[in-house]
């Protein structure tokens, strides 16, 4: 696909290409929504220090769950929903026990269909491809944080590392993984 084709392709077309293994298409989707989602996080947080982390976490979730995208909604609505839910999770981790504005309430998830499980397996294979290219430490941190869903504090305790070190290394691992996905790293 030529660069001009990516630029004029609809979100749905790009999403379909990503599901077919075209990582360049994901880069174009990311670039279309990056700034709006980043601004959303900065607006909600009132600062920029965690907005980058939330943006990366959102787009990792978008990539992993792309097979669940329902074309009945615009792609932007779907990405926004993931960003909103990522923000809700962030607030819950930070202020455990405090009520959260119902405007940000996450919808209940449903069990995946057999087709979704198959596509999820394909996506997981692609993610595993990128994970294998990370250093063993980064790979372990990504698995613990995103697949086993440990909190930063739990990871720090399990690995006997300072909390700041865990946060920094997860941030770097996410950056590296996002860069590989965006660049279509295939080596």
pLDDT at site 107 = 43
**Is 79's pLDDT higher than 80?**
yes
Q: C-alpha angle 37/38/42, rounded to 5°?
A: 120
Q: What band does 162 get if pLDDT is binned at 50, 70 and 90?
A: very high
Give the DSSP letter string of 138-175. HHHHHIIIIIS---HHHHHHHHT--HHHHHHHHHHHHH
Domain 3-99+110-183, second-level architecture: Orthogonal Bundle (1.10)
- CB-hemisphere CA count at 13 Å for 126? 24
For 38-42, 123-127, 177-181, which range has the lowest pLDDT when averaged over its residues? 123-127
- What's the CA gap between 142 and 122, in Å, rounded? 18
Averaging pLDDT over each range in 50-64, 95-109, 169-183, which range is the top one? Answer: 50-64
Determine if residue 160 is left, alpha or beta; phi over 0 gives left, psi from -120 to 50 gives alpha, anything else beta.
Answer: left
- For the chain, domain boundaries: 3-99+110-183
Averaging pLDDT over each range in 21-30, 119-128, 144-153, which range is the top one? Answer: 21-30
Percent of the chain with pLDDT over 90: 14
For residues 116-122, give the mean pLDDT: 57
For residues 17-31, give the mean pLDDT: 89
**What angle in degrees, to the nearest 10, is found between the helix axes of 11-19 and 23-45?**
120
For 116-120, 136-140, 175-179, which range has the lowest pLDDT when averaged over its residues? 116-120
């Amino acid at each position: 696909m030529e660069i001009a084709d990516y630029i004029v392709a609809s979100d749905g077309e790009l999403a379909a290409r990503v599901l077919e293994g075209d990582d360049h298409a994901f880069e174009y989707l990311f670039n279309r929504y990056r700034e709006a989602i980043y601004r959303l996080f900065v607006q909600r947080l009132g600062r920029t220090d965690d907005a980058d982390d939330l943006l990366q976490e959102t787009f990792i979730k978008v990539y992993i769950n792309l097979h669940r995208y329902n074309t009945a909604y615009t792609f932007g609505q779907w990405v926004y929903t993931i960003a909103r839910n990522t923000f809700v999770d962030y607030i819950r981790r930070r202020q455990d026990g405090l009520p959260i504005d119902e405007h940000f309430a996450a919808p209940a998830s449903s069990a995946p269909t057999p087709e979704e499980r198959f596509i999820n397996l394909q996506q997981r294979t692609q993610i595993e491809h990128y994970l294998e290219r990370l250093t063993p430490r980064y790979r372990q941190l990504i698995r613990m944080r995103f697949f086993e869903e440990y909190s930063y504090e739990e990871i720090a305790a399990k690995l006997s590392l300072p909390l700041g070190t865990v946060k920094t290394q997860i941030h770097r691992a996410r950056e590296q993984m996002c860069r590989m996905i965006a660049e279509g790293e295939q080596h």
